[in-house]
Amino acid sequence: MLPVMFKNSWFPTVFDDFLNTDFMPRANSTAPAVNVREDEKAYTMELAAPGIKKEYCRVSINDEGNLCIAIENKMEHKEDDRKHHYLRREFSYSNYEQSYTLPDDVEREKISAKVENGILTVTLPKQEKQETKVAKTIEIG
């Protein structure tokens, strides 16, 4: 009788160890984390975009008046070594695009954005409130 080899997760084969990718992180297809702050003068949105360059970010207002944020991330992980033939190279391409409904009190012409330390910050200034006092005579019936 020939010995039968069962696949046992307690004792992986040499090939399983070499080609197995379960321990490697998978590409994350979720949206970046977004923080929104409000103060007297503005709303501030912060989007986590680690390693992103400002050239890959687009911030605009669409025809419906919504804020559109698009991020395209192209990261290539490879090592140039002429002595070895690589069996694996990792490329990561991810796109994110989201539209946000703006509050009515945002001054759309003064919206600004910047990328710094892996965070895309979008500043949405509020319109200055003009307090108008309305004098009115109430008729007594």
Of 32, 31, 35, 51, give the one whose Cα is nearest residue 115: 51
User: How many CB atoms within 10 Å of residue 66?
Assistant: 13
**DSSP reduced 3-state for 51:** coil
How do residues 116-125 score in pLDDT, each as one tens digit?
Answer: 998 999 999 9
Amino acid sitting at position 110: K
- Mean pLDDT for 122-135 is 83
How do residues 62-83 score in pLDDT, each as one tens digit?
Answer: 999 999 999 887 655 555 556 6
